[in-house]
Structure formats: C-alpha cells, structure tokens
Structure 1
Amino acid sequence: MAKEVLIEIEHLSKSFPGGTEVLKDISLEIHKGDIVAIIGPSGTGKSTLLRCLNYLTVPSEGKIRIGECTVDAKSHTKEEVYALRRKSSMVFQQFNLFKNKTALENVMEALTKVQKMPKAEAEEISKHLLEQVGMGDRMDFYPSKLSGGQQQRVGIARALAVNPEVILFDEPTSALDPEWVKEVLATIQEVAKEGRTMLIVTHEISFARQVANRILFMEEGKIQVDAPPEEFFSDTKQERLQQFLSFVRREEEL
C-alpha cells in the first residue's frame, strides 16, 4: 500500500534582495511518517527550505501543500498561510524560549494562547511532554537556569504540544556545547519512534544515518541527492557528495 504524500513542494524558489537566489526550482514529495535529514555545505538553502514550509520565509515562487492546505507564493491569503502554519511546528537553532516564562509556561503558551485550551488541560499535556523529553524535574525553571541542551529539549516539548502533522528541526544542535549535543539527539530519536513526520537540517552525519529513512544533499540551492541512507552513503557516482562526506568525517575526527 502506497504511503500518503503529506508534503508536496512544486517549483519552489527563493531570492533575497540583491538578487541572491537561495532556492532554485525545488520540487519534492514527503510521505507521512518520513524522517528526512537534510545535509550539505553552509549557505546552500537548507534552513531557508525549512522556513519556507511554514512561511516564516516567504518563497518567491512555487506551491507548498501540507495535508489539505496549499499555498501559492504568487497568490496567497493570510488565512491560507495561518492554516499552513498550523500543520507544522519548528524547533529552532537558538531555542527561542520566552525568558520570563518557566519551562512549563513555555510549553503551555501555544495551547492556551493559540488553541484557546483550558489552562488545566494545557498544563496536563505540557507536564506529560516535559516528562517525555526528560525535563520533568525542571518544569519550574526559567531558561536562564537551564543548560543549552535542556532549553532545546523544552523547545522540542513545545513543538510537540500542538500535535503538528510535521516537525521541522532547523539545526537543533548547532548552538549547543558538544556535551549537550548527545542528549538532544537522543530526545529527537525518541520522538522519531512515534512515527511522526520530521524534516531535520543537521550537520550530524552519523545521526542522520541512524534516524532518517531519507537523506537529502543540498548544494547551490538545489537537491542534488535524495536517497535512503544505505544508498546515500554508498553512492560513489556523486563525486561532490563524497567530497562533502569526507570533509565532514575529517572534521569529526579532529
């Protein structure tokens, strides 16, 4: 039985002022339950692609469909963009937690303010999710009292709270000290076991190999390779991909 296509991207392009073309005519399908890792050199459009999916960055051209919501870059309404955004949650590089709110309040925020959920119900869901990501004993701590890894785990709980159809991870470990990277990656792996659809921009190549069922290699604003891990890492025909992987492995060894 064919898997449902949850995300459909058609001819997506993005140029910034000054004429810099960051995404170049990208078309892509993501199936429900796919865990897609996106890797590639810095500045190749990986994070921009993710931000276009929820219109934090507005594409220059192209259509994006998540579930039954379709948004066309050339003719879209605010209502269509809001509907698209409700389909996904994003985990950011820099955590983006409210500094004046506790871990629990940060997770509750979208439930009470956006979804208008009763406070008691929102609190119950948020506590459960903080327990799930190993932050049950830090619920009443403010971000300033949490390590980077702990803050990112709160960010993951917050993303899960609204029960999105897809979770977007934008280099979730890039702002962390090395000692905290492992705990955040382990948390993402636990979330992956739930069968959620996830797109993960990452520089952690071994993690991508373990957690993803598809890996995309992006360069110069285009998807150059899209394959399952076993094919991706054994593809000797893609010389540029092998150069990149060799460089990353040398960096990891250092």
Structure 2
Amino acid sequence: MYSVITVPAFNDNYIWLIKNGQRVLAVDPGEAAPVMERLNTLGLQLDGILLTHHHQDHVGGVSALLGHFPQAKLYGPKLDPMPDHHGQWLEEGDQINWHGLALEVIHVPGHTHGHIAYYGQGMLFCGDTLFSGGCGRLFEGTAQQMYQSLQRLAALPDDTLIYCAHEYTLANLRFAYAVEPDNPAIQRQIGWVSKLRQQGLPSLPSRLGDERIFNVFLRCDHDSVRFSAAKYGLKCVENPEDTFKILRQWKDVF
C-alpha cells in the first residue's frame, strides 16, 4: 500500500517520498527542485512534509514546496520549529496518522537538541541520528544523549528499514573496519555497498538487524569494540557509553 521513493539531493543527501496512491509525504526536503521534478514526472501530489531537525540541508526546500502545494501539511519537532511557518510541531509520544499510515514520533537528541525520528509499519525515518554503518555528529547534544537515542532506535524490530538522510555508508564502514578489523560482516558489507555505489545505486534503506552486526556505534557493548576504543583513547573504558564517546570522537577525525 505504501512505497518509498528515493530522491537524491545535493552531493550525498536523500529526500524520501512516502507514497500512497498519488499522494506523498516528503521527508527532510533540503532542496525543492529534485522533489518537484520527481512529483511532476510521476504525476504525484505533495500532501505533507516531515522534518526531523532544523539543518538547512533538511529544510531548505520547504518554503518553495509549500508555495507550489499550499494545502500540504508541515510536521516537525516541537523543540525545533521552523520560524515563519505554520505546522504541527511534534514531541515524544505524538503520532501522525496519514491515510492509514501511523507514524510514531521518537525524540532522539544528540545531533541537535530537538531531533525527532518517525517510525511506523517497519519504516524508520531518522534524519541524521542513525546512519547505515554509523551515526550523526554531535552538533548540539551530548555523547550521552546520542548514545541513549541510538539505544532507543536499536530496540526496534530487526526488520525495521532505516531511511536516513545521507549516503555516508562506505565512509562509515571504513571506519567500522578500523575499529573491528576481524568482523567479517563489515568486510562483506563494504564489498556489497561498493558494488551498489559503482552502479550509482543507493545503499539505503538498511535493515536494523544487519546494522547490529556491522555498525560499531550499535556494538559498544562488545569486547572487540570496547578494546579498540580503549586502545585509541589510551585509557580504561568501563561501560558502553564511554566506548561510544571515544568512538564518536575518533570518527570525527578519521
């Protein structure tokens, strides 16, 4: 009943169009032109916009799209609303019901204070919180907040499909290999994603159950990851949260 259309934007962004019949929800439209092109090509109508956070590469196309589709509803984080726009601002525990699709709102601070994710019918639209093979940078939140946010997302069912907002997968996996060089799942995933990218195909969506095997930011409770973090940080690491903090600092300069 519902399908998701991939719309590449900028150099490495993805805008997701959730389709039901001829109506779509656009997720994090940082750029209007590629969305308009896809809507026109497929004869689709923009019915709403979902925002995960306020960064320009996620919201830059909102004004232009609402200018073309003034009836479209705007949804976004209550802790991070768009100025000069009327929208439904959401917080933890809220739910959107769109033509039978129920999307739960999950507050996932770390990348930004107000960052939210949308989850429903096996789909997770998580912006810049959880990436395939990695996670977002800490621009406004703390390592503790991001770790807890990732733990919440990691608790979703294995078959959850992760629709994040950037094609960072190969770079993330190369870092994961530096952390866990003896993890065969990471090596296999590098090979698989490399083939996809050589063909110009996206590496997303990713499956959450697979991410638990090769995404080191979801594996901070594993001895192999903790050992690498301790070696890099030149100190004893006592818990998964401290492991995560070192990994995130390491990735920032990798």
Query: Normalising to structure 2: TM-score of the pair?
Result: 0.36
